[in-house]
Amino acid sequence: MHNTINDKMFLNSLLMLMSATISTIVCVPIDDNAQLFQAIANSVNTNNTEKFYEHRTEVCYQDLGCFYLEGPMKQTNMLPSSLEKINTQFFIYYRSGQVEEQIVDPYNSSTFKKINRSKQLVIIVHGFNNDHKVGYLVRMKDAILKYLKSKIGAVIMVDWSGGSAIPFYRKASCNTQVVGRQITFLVDRLKHFIGLDPLSVHLIGFSLGAQASGFAGKHARKVYGWTYGRITGLDAAAPMFEGYEGSYLTFADARFVDAIHTSAGKHMLKGEVGFIGQYGHEDFYPNGGLDQPMCTGTADIACNHKASVLYFAVSIEQPKKCPFSAYPCSDWVTYKNNTCLNPDARMGYYSIDGKGSGDHFLSMTTKSDKICYT
């Protein structure tokens, strides 16, 4: 009887292992957003997809410091992946449409030579199951270099795809700590070698990339004693972050922090994975933070999430036709009742020029403004 029970336990364990392996290799295609959000939900609600037996309480990396099991990402019950696994790389671009890829290496100052310290530097950080070549982020990068070239000298695309791969969302969340510190280590090297002013650096993070940017800001203040000029959170990831103080991007992480919320809900399987609460100096909730107009009728459940990037790109491409004027208001219902008057902020790149602060709402349903959603 005892052997029979052990045999059954072994068989069940084997089947679970086979199931997990098959789902990783076969059942989670990279371009299937339904599987992507299922992976997030599974990762948040259970550890079954990410069995991880951590006997260490900390891990330390050269020039980055130590990460603790009881640190700011303790809710993951994990330590970050190795630097080799995350494989963070910094790709730099100096002009719109640039095809050839150049890498900035924090340990090779000769790769800093073309960076113009008299202009602003933008650093873009991707999210879960992305890399630096994802189309909507490339569009934003090209818009910045085309329309803002008088003030911005270069854009760095951070690629940490080795540490953000599906289906391991919980692990990817934990890895944002490492990526944030790596970004700040690079910027501090630029500060030291070419005299770059960190106040001229603008981090733009999408989804998990927003949380990595938050860790970059925290590390800069705590370890190096300087502050980033601006951090933009584009639908910052909520799962494994919202509700866990010290783990997410806040207004304290840069001189100016702006946020765009486009999938701010609680139904992960419907693609609602964006941060709900206010965390920036200015937080923008187009259409109340849900149900963006270009996503009506689409089969892409990631559409609302990605809309934050689209809006930011369009705010640069079409600043006059799409000013994205926003109203200070307590909530979406109050805004819809036409009781919130006098817009005092602009969603997107030019939000830094506004006079407002706090939560802002704007309607995105006007058909004549279709150019603003494509």
pLDDT at res. 23: 33
337: buried, middle or exposed (CB in 10 Å: 19+, 13-18, 0-12)?
Answer: exposed
Q: How many helices (H) and strands (E) does the chain have?
A: 8, 13
Q: pLDDT at position 186, please?
A: 99
Is the model's pLDDT at 334 over the cut of 60? yes
Q: Of the candidates 320, 371, 311, 373, which has an alpha carbon nearest to the alpha carbon of residue 347?
A: 311
Q: Which member of 202, 261, 305, 360 is catalytic?
A: 305
Rounded to an integer, what distance in angstroms lies between the CA atom of residue 248 and that of residue 261? Answer: 14
CA dist 368 → 211, 306, 323, 373 (Å): 35, 22, 14, 11
Q: Which long-range contacts (CB under 8 A, 24 or more apart) does 343-347 make?
A: 345/282, 345/284, 346/315, 347/260, 347/284, 347/286, 347/311, 347/315
pLDDT of residue 7: 47
Q: Quick one: pLDDT band at residue 41, thresholds 50, 70, 90?
A: confident
Mean pLDDT of 254-275: 94
Residue 364's pLDDT is 86
Element (H, E) at 5: helix 2-25
> Who has greater pLDDT, 121 or 267?
121
- 50 has pLDDT over 60: no
**pLDDT score recorded for residue 33:** 73
For the question of residue 207 being annotated catalytic, the response is: yes
Ramachandran assignment for 293, one of left (phi > 0), alpha (psi -120 to 50 degrees), beta (any other): alpha
Q: Is 120 exposed, middle or buried (0-12, 13-18, 19+ CB in 10 A)?
A: buried
The pLDDT tens digits for 283-329 are: 999 999 999 998 988 888 999 999 999 999 999 999 999 999 999 99
Predicted confidence band at 18 (pLDDT cuts at 50, 70, 90)?
very low
Q: Where are the beta strands (DSSP E) in 111-241?
A: 120-125, 152-159, 201-206, 228-234
Asked: is 35-373 a CATH 3.40.50.1820 domain? The reply is yes
Instruction: Point out the catalytic residue in the list 159, 235, 258, 283.
Output: 235
User: Considering the chain, what is the average pLDDT of its residues?
Assistant: 88
Res. 207: pLDDT tops 80? yes
pLDDT of amino acid 21: 35
Mean pLDDT value across residues 353-365? 90
Q: Please report, rounded to a whole number, the percentage of residues in the chain having pLDDT higher than 70.
A: 87
| Residue 11: band (very low, low, confident or very high) from pLDDT cuts 50, 70, 90 | very low
Asked if 305 is an active-site residue, the reply is: yes
> Catalytic one among 164, 207, 247, 315?
207
Count of residues in the chain: 374
Q: Give the span between the Cα atoms of 149 and 147, in whole angstroms.
A: 6
Kindly tell me if the per-residue pLDDT of 176 is higher than 60: yes
In the structure, what pLDDT confidence band is assigned to residue 56 with cuts at 50, 70 and 90? Answer: confident
Q: What is the pTM of this model?
A: 0.88
Flag the least confident range among 53-62, 166-175, 214-223, 268-277: 53-62
What's the pLDDT at 27?
Answer: 33
Residue 368 confidence (pLDDT): 52
- Structure confidence at residue 42 (pLDDT): 79
Express as a percent the part of the chain with pLDDT over 90: 74
Q: What's residue 245's pLDDT?
A: 95
Burial class of residue 173 in the structure, from the number of CB atoms within 10 Å of its CB (0-12 exposed, 13-18 middle, 19+ buried): buried
Q: Which of 71-80, 170-179, 222-231, 261-270 has the lowest mean pLDDT?
A: 261-270
For residue 242, pLDDT over 60 is answered with yes
* Whole-number pLDDT of residue 52: 54
Q: Stretch 334-352: mean pLDDT, rounded?
A: 93
pLDDT tens figures, 74-115: 999 999 999 999 999 999 999 998 889 899 999 999 999 999
pLDDT, tens digit, for every residue of 101-158? 899 999 999 999 999 999 999 999 999 999 999 999 999 999 999 999 999 999 999 9
For the question of residue 219 being annotated catalytic, the response is no
Rounded distance between C-alpha atoms, residue 233 and residue 264, angstroms: 13
| For residues 63-70, average pLDDT | 97
Nearest to 92 by CA among 196, 165, 163: 196
